[in-house]
Amino acid sequence: MSRPSTDPARGITLKILSVLFFTLMAICIKAASARVPPGETVFFRSVFALPVTIIWLAMQGHLQHAFDTRHPFGHVSRGLVGTAGMALNFTALGLLPLPEATALFYTAPLFAVLFAAVILGERIRIFRISALCVGLAGAVVVLLPRMSLSQLQGPEQMAAFGALAAIAGAFFAGLAQTFTRRLTATEHTGTIVIYFTITSACLSLLTIPFGWVMPTLFEAVCLIGAGVFGGVGQILLTQAYRNAPMSVVAPFDYLSLVFSIIFGYMLFSELPTLPMLAGSSLIIVSGLFIIWREHKLRTSKARRNVK
């Protein structure tokens, strides 16, 4: 496993590019979601990300060991929850405006903090608990307009379901992040990525009885694009963390909201609402605080180890 280099500017650039590619992936999924069911979308996203991942592993010289693992059941668990999170997120993208879905996806790291305490035994103190409460309050602010009684009837009922799907997707994504953290102690990054990609492709086939459709040319291009953009985004993300510490590059995740607002307006004529902007601001602040706090704790621990 190659040692990470230290090039913050390169790391930040790669991170911004990864956020852009993941946003393009979301746009492709949203464009195809009017007719293509989420399970089929997951299949295309996974299958067409696989060649990108294999080429990357070959270029890194890791392809021959890509399937070497000491924890096969750990990959299965990560694949199950990760695929559930992906399917729910894709469902939300089809039912919600792009900026709103993006804002609710930001709650995934908040759930990850809770799971890290419950599953990994990490201690969370008052600072992170406070940040967690602020972030969840932000999610409530975003959700509340969708959950009012007047919104649970007629066309808005599906948007309310989409909001709940986004939160559920973030819940499973946070769980997947926790399982991934546990796997990174012994597994190569490429191994985790390729096992997840294959697992999600196989699991998505189980949804065929629930109604797959033959994509039109436009839908097929969008679905293939989602896989390619998602695969490239994952590689860029991995390389970003190899070039700079997480505390440096992680805050740039929140640029996806800016991209989502711009592309949502340009491509789908979607405008962000005041509750969405207010709630997402609280979620972002809480996320940034958690990143800063974890950086401080790691720095303090490193200094104690030096002494």
Q: Please report the pLDDT score of residue 149 as a whole number.
A: 53
Residues 6+ apart with CB under 8 A from 123: 117
Cα distance between residue 237 and residue 14, in whole Å: 7
Q: Please report the pLDDT score of residue 1 as a whole number.
A: 45
Band of the pLDDT at 301, cuts 50, 70, 90?
low
Q: Is the pLDDT of residue 151 over 60?
A: no
133-145 pLDDT, tens digit each: 999 999 999 988 8
Q: Please report the pLDDT score of residue 154 as a whole number.
A: 63
Cα distance between residue 101 and residue 99, in whole Å: 6
Q: Is the pLDDT of residue 6 over 80?
A: no
Q: Is the pLDDT of residue 38 over 80?
A: yes
Q: Is the pLDDT of residue 297 over 80?
A: no
Cα distance between residue 81 and residue 101, in whole Å: 19
Average pLDDT over residues 82-106: 95
Cα–Cα separations (whole angstroms), residue 100 to 210, 272, 274? 27, 7, 11
What spatial distance separates the first Cα and last Cα of the chain, rounded to whole Å? 28
Residue with tokens 């879905």: 101
Q: How many CB atoms sit inside 10 A of residue 8's CB?
A: 12
Tokens of 63: 């392809």
Whether the full predicted model's pTM is greater than 0.95, yes or no, is no
Cα distance between residue 109 and residue 211, in whole Å: 32
Tokens of 241: 């963390």
Amino acid at 217: L
Cα distance between residue 70 and residue 221, in whole Å: 37
Q: Is the pLDDT of residue 2 over 60?
A: no
Cα distance between residue 284 and residue 294, in whole Å: 15
Rounded mean pLDDT of the chain? Answer: 88
Band of the pLDDT at 244, cuts 50, 70, 90?
confident
Cα distance between residue 48 and residue 15, in whole Å: 22
Q: Please give the distance of CA 233 from its chain centroid, rounded to a whole number.
A: 11
